[in-house]
Amino acid sequence: MVSVAGNAQAHSGTPRSKDLNKSELIADVALKADLTKVEAGNVVEALIEAITESLVKKREVRLVGFGSFTTDVRQVRKGRDPRTGKEIQIKQATVVKFKPGKGLKDAVMGQDQDSQ
């Protein structure tokens, strides 16, 4: 999915509510886990750091019901310079991929996973 900064609509054309930023995520975690914002901030930072370190080591991060983070190598490929239209070679790159789990998919689609 292509993301454009400031775009308030998903690709389906339906309006999105305001995106959740890191400080709002920390506030939500604090509320749901009965933690202070400082404690919740430490938890969120530790989680991000642990996921990042695992991906740097080329290890898959699997969170059952939520999804999996993996890395993949995107091979060298041809592209076009948008300014000149000239053909260019795009370098090989390691990219992060996310595959949503069933629980997340069901939640986003508005289904109750317990009803199955």
Element (H, E) at 27: helix 22-33
Cα separations in angstroms, 105 against 2, 8, 65, 66, 69: 19, 21, 9, 8, 15
Summarize pLDDT for 26-41 with one digit per residue, the tens. 999 999 999 999 999 9
Structural domains of the chain, with CATH: 22-109 (4.10.520.10)
Q: For 23, left (φ over 0), alpha (ψ -120 to 50), or beta?
A: alpha
Could you tell me whether strands 93-100 and 87-90 are parallel, antiparallel, or unpaired per DSSP bridges? unpaired
> Is this model's pTM higher than 0.85 or not?
no
Q: Which of 27, 70, 76, 72 shows the shortest CA–CA distance to 51?
A: 70
| pLDDT tens figures, 44-95 | 999 999 999 999 999 999 999 999 999 999 999 999 999 999 999 999 999 9
**If DSSP codes are grouped into helix, strand and coil, which group holds residue 74?**
strand
* φ and ψ at residue 7, rounded to 5 degrees: -75, 125
